[in-house]
Every structure is written in C-alpha cells, then in structure tokens.
Amino acid sequence: VSTNSASNPAYLDPIALTQALVRFDTTNPLGNEVQCIEHIKALLDDAGIQNQVLAEVPGLPNPIAQLSGDGIAGSLLFQGHIDVVPSNPERWQHPPFGGDLVDGFLWGWGSLDMKSDIAMMLHAILRAKTDGMTSAGDIVLALVSDEESGGDQGGR
C-alpha cells in the first residue's frame, strides 16, 4: 500500500477531484458518462479497490466498488449519480463544464448535484484503502449514470 504522496489518488485534493468530475459533460440523455466512469474506475483500480462496471444500456455504465470490512457490522453504502440535466450555457458566467475555481467558489454544472458528493465519497474510500483502515462492515460505492432522466437505466 502506498504512502502519502502527490501521485497517490487517495491524496488528491477533493476540490481538484470535483473539478475533474465537473469537466465531464455527463448531460442525460447521453453525455460523456463513459469517460467519467472510466476516470473513476482508473482511480479505484490504481488504489487496488475491487470494482466492476455494470451496463445494461451502452453509454450508461454503473460502477460498483467494495472495500471489505471485518464483517461484524452491516455495510456502509455510498450512492450517487454522475449524470446532470441539460444546462443553458448562455446563462452561465463561467462555462458549465469548466470546473473553474473563482474567488473560492467552484463553478460547474453538477458541482452541487452531485459531483462534489461523489468526489467526497471517492476520497473517503480511497483514503480508507490507502491508509489501511479496516471498518467493521464493508464500504460499498455504487454510482449510476441515469438518475436525472427517470432512472430506468441505473437509478431504479
């Protein structure tokens, strides 16, 4: 297991991680969900966290990761969606998928719903693995690509 280092994905700045996620246009219907999930999967793979991607519909992948615990308690589920509703770029002061940090504020479509939440979930599971933390129960990360458009292909 690696140690605290700038090259270790577990020690990514959560703001930078949120910016990276925001920069993927994951507008539903079908944006760049595949590329966003590939990015997330690469972080999990690099940290050695068991994961798989389920996709009944091409272009709408749903990653699931699990960090095994001691089995003496139930699992903790981190769940979220990476898709966003269509934006109206003309009404933005900054590009909706720019992930710009301006005066301490992160601008970007999905930064509140819910890419910042996903960044924190990723940060938590990556740190738990890298720091060698063992929880009483499993930690499960389940993300879906289709929540904003009815959820039939992932959210349900």
Give the mean model confidence (pLDDT) for residues 42-58.
93
Q: 9-83+102-144, which class in CATH?
A: alpha beta
Q: What percent of the chain has pLDDT over 70?
A: 91
CA-nearest of 102, 96, 139, 88 to 115 is 96
Summarised one tens digit per residue, pLDDT across range 11-38 is 678 999 999 999 999 998 877 899 999 9
Alpha-carbon span 30 to 34, nearest angstrom: 9
Summarised one tens digit per residue, pLDDT across range 61-72 is 999 999 999 999
Give the mean model confidence (pLDDT) for residues 90-112.
95
Active site residues: 83, 147
For residue 137, the model assigns a pLDDT of: 98
User: Domain coordinates of the chain in residue numbers?
Assistant: 9-83+102-144
For residue 149, the model assigns a pLDDT of: 83
Q: Which residue has the higher pLDDT, 6 or 93?
A: 93
Contact call for residues 140 and 51 (beta carbons, < 8 A): no
Can you give the pTM of this predicted structure?
A: 0.90
For residue 10, the model assigns a pLDDT of: 53
